[in-house]
Amino acid sequence: MKNLSFEFFPPKKPEGVKNLEQTAKTLAAFSPDFFSVTYGAGGSTRQGTLEAVMMIKEKIGIAAVPHLACVGSSRSEILDVILNYKELGLNRIVVLRGDLPSGMGQSGEFRYAIELVDLIRETTGDYFHIEVAAYPECHPQALSSFDDAFYLKKKMEAGANSALTQYFYNADAYFYFLDKCAKLGITIPIVPGIMPITHFEKLVRFSKLCGAEIPRWLYKRLEAYGEDQQSIKALGLEVVSDLCSRLIAGGAPGLHFYTLNQAEASIGLLNKLGIYQKVTAG
Ligand code: FAD
């Protein structure tokens, strides 16, 4: 069976916490390998990430994986978080540099994710399974696409066990990236990140920030639907399930879903894909 994981963000309000619990319970029926929870760079969600992860661990019974973003924090703050995760029995972690809100400059003691991989291996040995980020369409600050693969290799050499990618809608970008990584001697699994399409404006805004390309034909078709959310969702289901099928058929080791704390779109995609157990929306 291919790997399967779902990503959540830490909710801020009590209704959000309830919703996340329901979403996680529903998606647990797929028996995923893990649920991960994002972490705000600079420590802005330190408590929220921990609470969400512990809720998943204690109430849902699926491996709960915190993200940890190092930029904007001191070494001792980050070390506290790592040691706390270890004490709580969390043994997998998604290690990132993170992005600080514009205007905050590059404060803190970390510049790149690899420095956090180093710190985790230096202080906790092989205890954690470390996931890192990868960018088939090129990270916005990478000097070249060669840079991205080069620094992914550095993260692997520092001790990363696997990678999760930024989302993309062009399967070829992923396959070319895998080829480049293989040529460089990168041997860790690189699991594609999947962003379901449910809302046009939000997707456009988010994609600009993270450097994900919406192909022109897809952009134009989604844009033409205007406020017709039903049609946007229907096209999203068709396009993204086709992408998932191509990725799996082409040898992707699994799928990592960006859920935005909603279950419905991921369920639709996975049921259409048909390689995991079928699940009904909760
Ligand atoms: P790095 O690996 O450090 O790379 C950042 C850039 O620097 C790249 O352009 C790389 O090519 C370059 N680079 C790396 N090392 C060097 C070096 N030694 N010298 C020169 N250049 C170098 N953000 C959050 O804040 N919280 C989250 O929870 C979060 N979760 C994410 C989950 C996934 C699966 C992904 C794909 C991204 C996530 N992000 C998250 C976003 C991520 O933090 C940003 O994309 C960030 O800009 C880069 O993080 P990174 O870990 O890839 O950084």
Determine the 3-state secondary structure of 183 from DSSP. helix
Q: Rounding to the nearest 10 degrees, give the CA dihedral for residues 263, 268, 274, 276.
A: 0
The string of pLDDT tens digits covering residues 78-88 is 999 999 999 99
Domain ranges of the chain: 4-272
CA–centroid distance, residue 26 to ligand 1 (Å): 30
Burial environment of residue 51 by CB neighbours within 10 A (0 to 12, 13 to 18, 19 or more): middle
Q: Tell me what the mean pLDDT of segment 40-61 comes to.
A: 95
Q: Which of 151, 106, 161 is nearest to 129 (CA)?
A: 161
Which pLDDT band, with edges at 50, 70 and 90, does 272 fall under?
very high
Placement of tokens 């992707």 in the chain: 252
Q: Is 99 in the pocket of ligand 1 (CB under 6 A)?
A: yes
Q: Is 15 a catalytic residue?
A: no
Average pLDDT for 259-264: 97
Q: Are 39 and 68 in contact (CB under 8 A)?
A: yes
Q: How would you classify the pairing of strands 64-69 and 92-96?
A: parallel
Look over the chain and give the mean of its residue pLDDT values, rounded to a whole number.
95
Most distant CA atoms of the chain, gap in Å: 53
Are the C-beta atoms of 162 and 129 separated by less than 8 Å? yes
- The CA distance from 178 to 39, in Å, is 27
Q: How far is CA 121 from the centre of its chain?
A: 21
Provide the CATH topology of domain 4-272: TIM Barrel (3.20.20)
In angstroms, how far is the first alpha carbon of the chain from the final one? 24
Q: If you take atom 18 of ligand 1, which residue's CA is the nearest one?
A: 112
Q: Confirm or reject: Cβ of 97 under 6 Å from ligand 1.
A: yes
pLDDT in tens, 206-255: 999 999 999 999 999 999 999 999 999 999 999 999 999 999 999 999 99
Pocket lining: 233 vs ligand 1, CB cutoff 6 Å: no
Q: How far is the CA of 82 from the centre of ligand 1 (A)?
A: 18
The whole-number pLDDT of residue 100 equals: 82
CB 53 within 8 A of CB 66: yes
Instruction: Please say if the pLDDT value at position 278 is more than 70.
Output: yes
Check residue 153 and give its pLDDT: 98
**Are the C-beta atoms of 71 and 100 separated by less than 8 Å?**
yes
